[in-house]
């Protein structure tokens, strides 16, 4: 097992993102897994969350009997994606079927998910690689909101929902 982003997780660096994607899908096909397209890695004090999308068919409502570490395959990425994150950080292979504590439906057959792992080391300061995502719905927070409210953890819609609940509406 190797370490990336201060968690024990096998990972592979590839020359370009298409090679990383092909390797992830090959691993998933060989292991009966599915591929999470990781857009954000949220490194917090005790945990690291991989946030992205996965095909809906890879989600099962049954309770998984395996430990979380047995559900993970490799994280496939490029050095460039890690050093200067863009719209995609890489591909995380998960075993199928994957049981999720919560997920939100998307506009297509993809679902937004978060895979959270406990940090093993503390060599990286808490940070977010990729777009900052809402802690409630896991969708990216708009750059306009982040400029208006630096450090916010909720998108506009979820903030409004919280205020309605708090105000008793």
Residues 73 and 150 in one domain: no
pLDDT score for 14? 96
Instruction: Give the range of the structural domain holding residue 113, as residue numbers without chain letter.
Output: 3-131
Is the Cβ–Cβ distance between 145 and 152 less than 8 Å? yes
CA distance 28 to 23: 9
Residues 161 and 93 in one domain: no
Residues 136 and 75 in one domain: no
Q: Please, which pLDDT band fits residue 164 given cuts at 50, 70 and 90?
A: confident
Check whether 166 has a pLDDT greater than 80.
no
Residues 121 and 151 in one domain: no
Number of domains in the chain: 2
Check whether 107 has a pLDDT greater than 60.
no
Residues 40 and 92 in one domain: yes
Please give the residue that has the higher pLDDT: either 143 or 21.
Answer: 21
pLDDT score for 55? 81
Check whether 95 has a pLDDT greater than 50.
yes
Is the Cβ–Cβ distance between 95 and 25 less than 8 Å? no
What does the block give as tokens for 135?
Answer: 């802690």
pLDDT score for 106? 44
Residues 120 and 143 in one domain: no
Residues 84 and 142 in one domain: no
Q: Please, which pLDDT band fits residue 1 given cuts at 50, 70 and 90?
A: low
Average pLDDT score over residue span 110-114: 81
Residues 19 and 84 in one domain: yes
Average pLDDT score over residue span 122-138: 87
Average pLDDT score over residue span 65-80: 75
Residues 73 and 145 in one domain: no
Residues 75 and 117 in one domain: yes
């Amino acid at each position: 097992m190797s370490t990336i982003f201060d968690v024990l997780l096998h990972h592979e660096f590839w020359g370009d993102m298409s090679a990383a994607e092909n390797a992830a899908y090959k691993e998933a096909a060989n292991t009966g897994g599915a591929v999470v397209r990781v857009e954000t890695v949220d490194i917090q004090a005790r945990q690291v969350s991989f946030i992205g999308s996965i095909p809906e068919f890879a989600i099962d409502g049954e309770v998984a009997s395996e430990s979380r570490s047995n559900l993970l395959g490799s994280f496939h990425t490029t050095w460039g994606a890690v050093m200067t994150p863009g719209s995609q950080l890489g591909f995380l292979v998960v075993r199928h079927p994957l049981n999720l504590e919560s997920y939100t439906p998307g506009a297509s057959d993809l679902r937004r998910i978060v895979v959270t792992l406990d940090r093993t080391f503390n060599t990286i300061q808490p940070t977010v690689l990729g777009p900052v995502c809402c802690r409630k719905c896991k969708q990216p927070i708009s750059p306009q909101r982040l400029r208006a409210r630096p450090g916010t953890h909720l998108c506009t819609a979820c903030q409004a929902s919280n205020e309605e609940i708090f105000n008793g509406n």
